[in-house]
Every structure is written in structure tokens, then in C-alpha cells.
């Protein structure tokens, strides 16, 4: 199967709700193969209404993107927080299955903003809890015919998994085929020594890709080593989705969460369209 190109609705709005269906025809018209749907608060949308909107726009759901705050943390020492996170992941799995999205992506193992220097024994305990709970999550996903992809985040957002090598170690310890890796060029540009080597390290475990610039702008407009990245993506024979994930400063809540203090393109439509044009050319078969 060939790579499909998608865009996250966060490019235009947040949080994801029923009104997001209005974006689907635009996303289709811009030329994307599908859309990534972020599930921040399941109470804000109706699963069937979203599915009907996708079908009406003839726009496939390529992936579901999870949102992991302090009360959604598989590595937490409080069993209730772990259970709450597993329940949330189950909702994401149900949504993905209903929408036909093959992958649920994000930092499923911990909460965003949990960035500390802790003793080695504490980190080991948190790692082990994450692994044990990911086994449960992976089984749920596998039973539903959906895959999970854990995302390394940069050091300012998380402290447990920052690079592809750590993600591979975690995936291997979990040991379930429904669990793989999600790499994001924004985080890779900060943490990895070599973006190509990171993709190759993920290899067959690579289930999902996010593409955005070093400033979260349109791919191709900044400093990411795109040619090396693309060469590695082809080398590992990746055939999943490549999704543009960015944000808008017009939505105050997400601007603060993602530290978006200025416009990254003349319009959000331009960001999406320019990024898509660049990625299609970059990853075209030769």
C-alpha cells in the first residue's frame, strides 16, 4: 500500500468536536488522502456524526491522535490514574474502529508536561508501569483490529521516551504486534542526532509519521533534514500515513499548550496546502 497523506484538524481548530465535520470537505478539496482526528474530550463529539461527515466528504480517517494530560498517565504511581488512562485509550480504540482509522498515535505511555529529572529507580518503576499497562492497551487494540503507535516527545514535554531507540526498547518489552512507533519530525529535530538513523532504528516498528517543520510550520519551510528523512522512510519501506500536525495561535488553549505564539503561515490553509505539495514531491517514487 502506498503512503497516504493526511492532516490533523488541529491545524485549524481545537478541541475536536462535532463542528469539525465542516473541515472535512475543505481537507478533501486541498488534496489530502485523509484526516487525523484528535480525541481530546470524547464528550464533545458524537461518533456517528463524525463518521457520517467523513463518509459524506469521502474522506478516510487515517489515524486518531490521543491527548494525554496529568490524569491520563500509564506510568503514574496511582492505579486510579492508570485505570483512567486505559479507559480513555479504550474510548480512542472504539472511535478508531468506528471511523475506520487503523492507528492511534501519541505519547500513550505518559502524560505531556511530565518532564523531570528523577532518580534511576523511580524512572525504572515508571517505565515498568508504562510497559505493563501498554500490554493491556495493545491487547485491547489488537482485539479491535487497531494498532497503537507510541510517540517520543522532546525533553521539554516528557522525560520517559525522547528518541526512537527508547521507543523501540519499550515496544520490544511490551512484545505485542499491535504496538509500534510514531515519529514526529518536530520532536526528532530537537532530540535525534540523525533523523534518518532514527527512522531506520524504528524500522519495521514504524506505524505512523507526523511531518512538520522545526517551528511546527509547513514541511519544507524550515531546517528539518527532509531529504535524509525521506530517504530513510523509503529505505524502511514505510507505507502508512504521513500526517501534517500543526496548530493555530487563534485557538488560545492549544496555542498555550503547544507554545504557538505567532502565525506560522499566511493562513492555515496555506500551511496545509504548501506542506502537502512539498511532501508529495519529496516522497514520490523514483
Average pLDDT over residues 222-246: 97
Mean pLDDT for the chain?
A: 96
Number of H helices, E strands in the chain: 10, 8
199 CB contacts (<8 Å, ≥6 apart)?
Answer: 164, 183, 206, 229, 232, 233, 235, 236, 238
**DSSP code of residue 153:** -
For the stretch 88-121, pLDDT in tens is: 999 999 999 999 999 999 999 999 999 999 999 9
The stretch 20-30 carries a mean pLDDT of: 98
Catalytic residue among 40, 126, 151, 213: 151
Quick one: pLDDT at residue 1? 61
Q: Residues 225-252: what's their mean pLDDT?
A: 94
Please tell me the predicted confidence (pLDDT) of residue 250: 81
d(CA 243, CA 79): 33
Listed range (218-222, 224-228, 251-255) with the worst mean pLDDT: 251-255
What pLDDT is attached to residue 285?
A: 53
The structural domains of the chain, ordered by start, are 4-282 (3.20.20.150)
DSSP 118-161: --HHHHHHHHHHHHHHHHHHHHHHHHHT-EEEE----TTTBSS-
Lowest-pLDDT range of 53-57, 68-72, 259-263: 259-263
Of all residues in the chain, the percent with pLDDT exceeding 90 is 92
**213 included as an active-site residue:** no
Among 40, 157, 213, 245, the one annotated catalytic: 245
Per-residue confidence band for 259, with pLDDT thresholds at 50, 70 and 90: confident
Pairing, β 4-8 against β 241-244: parallel
**pLDDT, mean of residues 223-243:** 97
The model's pLDDT over 167-213, given as tens digits with 9 standing for 90+, comes to: 999 999 999 999 999 999 999 999 999 999 999 999 999 999 999 99
% of the chain surpassing 70 pLDDT = 99
pLDDT exceeds 80 at position 263: yes
Find the helix or strand (DSSP H, E) in which 50 lies.
Answer: helix 47-57
Dist CA 238 CA 246 (whole Å): 22
157 is catalytic: no
Task: Specify the range with the lowest mean pLDDT, choosing from 3-7, 76-80, 122-126, 256-260.
Answer: 256-260
Stated pTM of the model: 0.96
d(CA 117, CA 119): 7
Q: Residues 126-150: what's their mean pLDDT?
A: 98
Sign of the CA dihedral 26, 32, 33, 39?
A: negative
pLDDT of residue 112: 96
Count the helix, strand and coil residues of the chain and give each as a percent rounded to the nearest 5: 50, 15, 35
Amino acid at each position: 500500500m502506498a503512503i497516504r497523506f493526511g492532516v490533523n484538524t488541529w491545524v485549524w481548530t481545537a478541541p475536536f468536536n462535532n463542528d469539525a465535520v465542516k473541515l472535512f470537505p475543505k481537507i478533501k478539496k486541498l488534496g489530502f488522502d485523509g484526516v487525523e482526528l484528535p480525541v481530546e474530550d470524547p464528550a464533545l463529539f458524537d461518533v456517528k456524526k463524525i463518521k457520517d461527515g467523513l463518509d459524506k466528504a469521502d474522506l478516510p480517517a487515517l489515524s486518531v491522535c490521543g491527548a494525554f494530560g496529568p490524569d491520563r498517565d500509564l506510568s503514574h504511581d496511582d492505579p486510579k490514574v492508570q485505570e483512567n488512562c486505559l479507559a480513555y485509550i479504550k474510548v480512542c480504540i472504539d472511535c478508531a474502529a468506528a471511523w475506520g482509522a487503523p492507528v492511534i498515535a501519541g505519547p500513550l505511555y505518559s502524560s505531556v508536561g511530565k518532564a523531570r529529572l528523577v532518580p534511576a529507580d523511580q524512572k525504572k518503576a515508571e517505565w515498568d508501569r508504562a510497559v505493563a499497562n501498554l500490554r493491556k492497551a495493545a491487547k485491547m487494540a489488537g482485539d479491535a483490529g487497531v494498532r497503537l503507535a507510541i510517540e517520543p516527545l522532546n525533553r521539554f514535554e516528557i522525560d520517559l521516551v525522547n528518541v526512537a531507540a527508547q521507543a523501540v526498547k519499550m515496544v520490544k518489552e511490551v512484545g505485542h504486534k499491535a504496538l509500534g512507533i510514531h515519529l514526529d519530525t518536530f520532536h526528532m529535530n530537537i532530540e535525534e542526532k540523525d533523523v534518518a538513523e532514527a527512522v531506520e532504528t524504528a524500522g519495521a516498528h514504524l506505524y505512523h509519521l507526523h511531518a512538520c517543520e522545526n517551528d511546527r510550520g509547513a514541511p519544507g519551510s524550515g531546517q528539518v533534514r527532509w531529504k535524509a528523512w525521506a530517504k530513510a522512510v523509503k529505505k524502511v519501506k514505510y507505507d502508512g500515513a504521513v500526517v501534517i500536525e500543526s496548530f493555530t495561535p487563534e485557538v488560545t488553549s492549544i496555542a498555550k499548550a503547544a507554545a504557538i505564539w505567532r502565525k506560522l503561515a499566511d493562513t492555515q490553509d496555506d500551511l496545509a496546502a504548501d506542506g502537502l505539495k512539498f511532501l508529495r514531491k519529496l516522497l514520490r517514487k523514483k
